[in-house]
Amino acid sequence: MPATKIIRVILIDDHARVHDAVTMALHNLDDIALIGHGSRGEEALALCEELTPDVILMDVVMPGMSGVEATKLIRKKYPNIKILVVSSFQDDDTIHTILQNGASGYVLKDAIASDLANTIRTTFDGSAVFSQEVARVLLKSDHSEPSQRFGLTQRELEILRLMAQGQNNAEIAHTLTISQSTVKFHINNVIAKIGVDTRAEAIVLAAKNNLV
């Protein structure tokens, strides 16, 4: 039997209590290892170079380089590293920008105490994860007609809306009574048609075009 993949995580946040809380939440897990800590965006870049993590837990507002800028630079240089924003609630534009810059998801710091480990696992597996408050920002609509449909089929639009609601592949498959492989096929088509690299970026662009 192959060994369990250990998800290597670094945390970038300028508050010591957050580092303490994350360390406690991830303590003694068999499949997640917290391998590095930093307090500003510049340190995130240095730790990526040194440690090549699988997932970064990234704050938004920090001294020096912000999480928004760090996310953009890291995703450009290290496209395989997943970035999960763990932050206080920010304004709508900041949420949209950091997701457009390549973050895989955005959860509020309150989630650290509840289900951080599973959130990291879901992010590592390629799904987009959002706190309810962030999902409401993404699903906020002015009810106008879509400005661009990107050639998406009705089924692809259905799946895109379920993605925006925070459903993972298994949940989408259950909702639509289709297989997970079919869901994955449609999601790959959605991402390709919209012209982005991640599920989160697809959701943000879809929100801006009133598709979700």
Pairing mode, if any, of strands 82-87 and 55-58? parallel
Sheet containing strand 7-12, edge to edge, reads: 32-38, 7-12, 55-58, 82-87, 105-108, 129-130
Domain that includes residue 114, residue range: 7-137
| Residues 35 and 124 occupy one common structural domain | yes
| Residues 130 and 34 occupy one common structural domain | yes
pLDDT per position as a tens digit, 154-195: 999 999 989 888 788 889 999 999 999 999 999 999 999 988
pLDDT per position as a tens digit, 3-16: 678 999 999 999 99
Q: Is residue 2 part of a domain?
A: no
Q: Is residue 81 part of a domain?
A: yes
Specify the pLDDT at position 1.
Answer: 45
The residue among 93, 118, 137 that closes a domain is 137
Specify the pLDDT at position 3.
Answer: 61
What mean pLDDT is predicted for residues 110-124? 84
Specify the pLDDT at position 141.
Answer: 56
Q: Is residue 194 part of a domain?
A: yes
Two structure tokens written together for 1 = 């039997």
| Residues 153 and 87 occupy one common structural domain | no
Q: How far is CA 32 from the centre of its chain?
A: 17
Two structure tokens written together for 180 = 């997970």
Specify the pLDDT at position 113.
Answer: 66
- What is the CATH number for 113? 3.40.50.2300
Q: Is residue 184 part of a domain?
A: yes
Two structure tokens written together for 53 = 């993590």
| Residues 153 and 114 occupy one common structural domain | no
Q: Is residue 1 part of a domain?
A: no
Number of domains in the chain: 2
Radius of gyration, alpha carbons of the chain: 17
With beta carbons less than 8 A apart as the criterion, state whether 145 and 210 touch.
yes
| Residues 51 and 124 occupy one common structural domain | yes
With beta carbons less than 8 A apart as the criterion, state whether 40 and 62 touch.
yes
The residue among 137, 156, 172 that closes a domain is 137
| Residues 91 and 43 occupy one common structural domain | yes
Backbone dihedral angles phi then psi of residue 50, each to the nearest 5 degrees:
-80, -40
- What is the CATH number for 150? 1.10.10.10
80: which DSSP letter? T
| Residues 12 and 88 occupy one common structural domain | yes
pLDDT per position as a tens digit, 14-64: 999 999 999 998 988 999 999 999 999 999 999 999 999 999 999 999 999
Two structure tokens written together for 74 = 């890291």
114 CB-side CA count, 13 A = 8
Backbone dihedral angles phi then psi of residue 201, each to the nearest 5 degrees:
-65, -40
Dist. CA 204–CA 135, nearest whole Å: 10
Two structure tokens written together for 161 = 């809306």
| Residues 18 and 60 occupy one common structural domain | yes
pLDDT per position as a tens digit, 67-116: 999 999 999 999 999 999 999 877 888 988 998 899 999 998 876 766 89
| Residues 125 and 160 occupy one common structural domain | no
With beta carbons less than 8 A apart as the criterion, state whether 131 and 41 touch.
no
| Residues 111 and 196 occupy one common structural domain | no
Which residues sit opposite 106 in a β-bridge? 85, 130
Q: Please report where in the chains the tokens 């943000």 appear, as a residue.
A: 204
